[in-house]
Amino acid sequence: MLYRFQSRASPDFVMLEVHARQLFDIIGKAPAPQGIVTVEQIPGAIAALESALAREASNPHNHDDYAVEGHANEAEKQHVGLHQRAAPLLHMLRDSLAEKKDVTWKT
């Protein structure tokens, strides 16, 4: 399943369910088929993502709290970290906060 994130302040983007669920967990939202981060909730969501990214930077394993143990060396090199997965949402949240627009998603 795919999640489509939308805001009137930023271009849409699509994310795989497994990655979107991780971001929902970080920002404290349920992975429902549709949802919203209101303008009032955006600062908290940004702070939660930034905190998770700071933790990721200090994690010696793949630099990612969500990494699966036991990767082969080649898999370690190709691993996509949280900082890459979170970037589109973080940009959308920042743009939406600046323009005072909600962020929504749907499947």
pLDDT at 2: 97
56-77 residues labelled b (16+ CB within 10 A) or e (exposed) = beeeeebbbebbeeeeeeeeee
Convert the pLDDT of each residue in 54-85 to its tens digit: 988 776 655 555 555 555 566 555 567 888 99
pTM, whole model, 2 decimals? Answer: 0.83
Is 100 part of a structural domain of the chain? yes
DSSP E strands, the chain: 2-7, 10-16, 34-37, 103-106
Which residue range forms the structural domain that includes residue 33?
A: 2-58+81-106
In a domain, 41, yes or no: yes
Domains in the chain: how many in total?
1
Residue 15 lies in a domain: yes
pLDDT in tens, 4-59: 999 999 999 999 999 999 999 999 999 999 999 999 999 999 999 999 999 887 76
Residue 73 lies in a domain: no
**Would residue 76 count as lying in a domain?**
no
Whether residue 20 contacts residue 105, with contact meaning beta carbons closer than 8 Å, is answered with: yes
Is 96 domain-assigned?
yes
